[in-house]
């Protein structure tokens, strides 16, 4: 029987008793319908996970006892940073979720010239929290024990200046393919554009910061497909898909 996993952003120790916060308590009690004495796995995103038992489940509270630390890692030998041009609605959600499943370590939502999303007021922080929730739930589902970073929304021109490792930007008109390259110190930075791709000025900006244009086959991929195809390819070439 599959044991459910839950992310808790707190210090965890064997022998500890934890009363869950409102949202997590509701999720275990109402969505998963877990009962007293059932098992659950908790992790805090810092490595490893904890086998736990529910010792109290009622309308007022849910209390968990931490039984045992399990040393475990499903991380790729690659450290992958993803700069993701912000796209509309479900496309961005899908890209963030699947990037976590495919082993990305850090995601930065990027504002680009052809980005169609305009943030007003507190919408930026609301959207960022929404993506953080997606990262958390994808980590729970995919058995990750380290929580990927979801960084602040930033302009492309500022982001490209601060990256390192093998720096790649996805360009359907490039001459090189991933097979022509090799990672630097097992670090890869991928830059993927929004709907409509990068402008000419943005391409020049990325190249000036030593990003290498790379194509993924001969077809033009949608924004939500391109980054995931690239992540799968680098894991196959140099990561843990082999």
CATH number for the domain formed by residue range(s) 79-238: 3.40.1280.10
Q: State the 10-residue block means of pLDDT for the chain, 242 residues long.
A: 85 92 87 90 94 91 94 94 91 94 96 81 87 95 95 94 95 91 94 88 94 92 91 96 85
pTM: 0.91
Whether 5-70 and 79-238 share one fold: the answer is: no
Residue 196 pLDDT: 81
Q: Which of left, alpha, beta for 52 (phi over 0: left; psi -120 to 50: alpha)?
A: beta
Chain centroid, CA 176 distance in Å: 26
- In this prediction, residue 172 carries a pLDDT of 87
Provide φ and ψ at 166, rounded to 5°: -75, 115
Q: In what order do the strands lie in the sheet with 17-19?
A: 5-7, 39-43, 49-57, 62-70, 17-19
Q: pLDDT digit string (tens) for 146-156? A: 999 999 999 99
Select the CATH number that applies to the domain covering 5-70 from these four: 2.40.240.20, 2.40.430.10, 1.10.1330.10, 1.10.3720.10.
2.40.240.20
Q: Of all helices (H) and strands (E), which one includes residue 206?
A: helix 200-208
State how beta strands 39-43 and 5-7 pair. Answer: parallel
Beta carbons of 100 and 74 less than 8 angstroms apart: no
| pLDDT score, position 169 | 94
The H or E element that residue 68 is part of is: strand 62-70
Show me where the domains of the chain are located: 5-70, 79-238
Give the model confidence (pLDDT) of 85-137 as tens digits.
Answer: 998 878 999 999 999 999 999 999 999 988 877 777 788 889 999 999 999 99
Q: Give CA–CA dist 122/213, Å, rounded.
A: 35
Q: Which of 214, 14, 231 is nearest to 138 (CA)?
A: 231
Residue 23 confidence (pLDDT)? 86
Rounded Cα gap, residues 78 and 237, in angstroms: 11
As a whole number, the mean pLDDT across the chain is 92
């Amino acid at each position: 029987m599959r044991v459910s996993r839950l992310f808790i952003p707190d210090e965890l120790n064997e022998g500890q008793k934890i009363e869950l916060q409102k949202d997590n308590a509701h999720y275990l009690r109402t969505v998963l319908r877990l009962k007293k004495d059932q098992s659950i796995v908790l992790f805090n995103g810092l490595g490893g996970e904890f086998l736990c038992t529910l010792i109290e489940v009622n309308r007022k509270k849910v209390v968990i006892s931490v039984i045992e630390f399990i040393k475990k890692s499903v991380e790729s030998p690659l450290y992958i940073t993803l700069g993701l041009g912000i796209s509309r609605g479900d496309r961005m959600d899908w890209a963030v979720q699947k990037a976590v499943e495919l082993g990305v370590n850090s995601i930065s939502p990027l504002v680009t010239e052809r980005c169609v999303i305009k943030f007003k007021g507190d919408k930026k922080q609301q959207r960022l929290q929404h993506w953080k929730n997606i990262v958390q739930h994808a980590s729970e589902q995919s058995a990750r024990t380290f929580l990927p970073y979801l960084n602040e929304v930033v302009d492309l021109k500022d982001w490209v200046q601060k990256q390192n490792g093998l720096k790649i930007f996805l360009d359907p008109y490039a001459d090189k393919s991933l097979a022509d390259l090799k990672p630097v110190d097992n670090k890869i930075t991928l830059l993927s554009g929004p709907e409509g791709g990068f402008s000419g000025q943005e391409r020049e900006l990325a190249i000036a910061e030593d990003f290498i244009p790379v194509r993924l086959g001969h077809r033009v991929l949608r924004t939500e497909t391109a980054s995931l195809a690239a992540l799968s390819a680098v894991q196959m070439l140099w990561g843990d898909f082999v």
